[in-house]
Structure 1
């Protein structure tokens, strides 16, 4: 039994990694993936600030859609591709007996255009992006911590260059005591974000 508990705990730690470079507020502190931990801070913060400001409108006023991510490691058919939408994503629990060790799951995002996208979340969630067909991991470009004065509802963003029409699996993870649910807004970074 202990062996299974250690394997389950190990899976959460491997997926989530440990620690962050900047220490967020205790309420929102969470580990990030090993790749995200090494990810450089975004240099074009002016453009990302505009993206965050636009995304904040959706984070505050919607439209909203609630989804439950597919369990980590299994196929995902949960789609988060509708533009200008704030998704309330609930991650399935990773448990051993009566203890919940963390939360992990995946959703599918299919971009309309080939460009760079920002994945903005309300908490510090571990995130990895994979080509759903080939299972190849897509390298994340950079990370951006959303300043409180820019948006109170979104905390962080990672960016990645994606090809239009390709299905991507977004893997998210959080370790207890983080909540299972968080807000996700996906926006293109190269367009005028004031259009609806």
Structure 2
């Protein structure tokens, strides 16, 4: 196994603890690369998040849509997902060893227009890590929000983070088999209703 393949496979297993799968993995079998994501608390003030999810649901169902393939995990990313009110169909590159696909991992770039709190809403449960692209410093995520079915049937979960306008952020996603390589991503400002 090449060093790159070994590192990528390790990343899948290390980040995997950040997201739920249909079958829960034994805690000792998954060592997340960031405990922060694994232990991210549930959001307490969900009114603004529900509004953001409801607004995002419209885009999840009616678009506009854009399909992107994330950059390989661990490398530079130039795949931009900064367009407002856009539902991105993100495909993550496979992490494979011989004939087995272990999971999927990749990175995209998000550059917010203004400094505020953002929700990264996805159609499936994915491990998420947000990193300042210039400094490689991980951004602290505020909380995790499980989108209720009655709010939006197309989106499942969101993580929130305070971001600075004009800064490029690398957003890493990881999914472990049996999760799909492709998922829907919508990034929405929180508390700015009436878009």
- TM-score calculated relative to the size of structure 1: 0.89
Match of 1:156 in 2: 157
Return the offset for 1:11: 2.8
Q: Does the Cα contact within 8 Å between 1:16 and 1:34 map onto a contact in 2?
A: no
Match of 2:105 in 1: 104
Return the offset for 1:51: 0.5
Runs of 4+ in 1 over 4 A off after TM superposition: 1-8, 29-33
Match of 1:117 in 2: 118
1:127 aligns with 2:166: no
Taking structure 1 as reference, are residues 153 and 13 closer, same or farther at Cα in structure 2, changes over 3 Å only? same
Question: SS of 1:58's equivalent?
Answer: helix
| Equivalent residues, number | 189
1:80 aligns with 2:47: no
Return the offset for 1:37: 2.0
Taking structure 1 as reference, are residues 42 and 92 closer, same or farther at Cα in structure 2, changes over 3 Å only? same
Return the offset for 1:190: 2.3
- Cα deviation 1:24-61 (Å, max 9, x = unaligned): 7x39x798863222111111111110000000000000
Question: SS of 1:118's equivalent?
Answer: strand
Return the offset for 1:8: 5.1
Question: RMSD of the alignment, in Å?
Answer: 2.3
Q: Does the Cα contact within 8 Å between 1:62 and 1:86 map onto a contact in 2?
A: yes
Aligned mates of 1:15, 1:137 — CA distance in 2: 14
Q: Does the Cα contact within 8 Å between 2:142 and 2:160 map onto a contact in 1?
A: yes
Match of 1:13 in 2: 13
> What are the ranges of 5 or more consecutive residues in structure 2 without an aligned counterpart?
none
Question: SS of 1:55's equivalent?
Answer: helix
Taking structure 1 as reference, are residues 152 and 131 closer, same or farther at Cα in structure 2, changes over 3 Å only? same
Q: Does the Cα contact within 8 Å between 1:115 and 1:190 map onto a contact in 2?
A: no
Aligned mates of 1:15, 1:102 — CA distance in 2: 11
> What are the ranges of 5 or more consecutive residues in structure 1 without an aligned counterpart?
none
Return the offset for 1:5: 7.7
Aligned mates of 2:83, 2:50 — CA distance in 1: 21
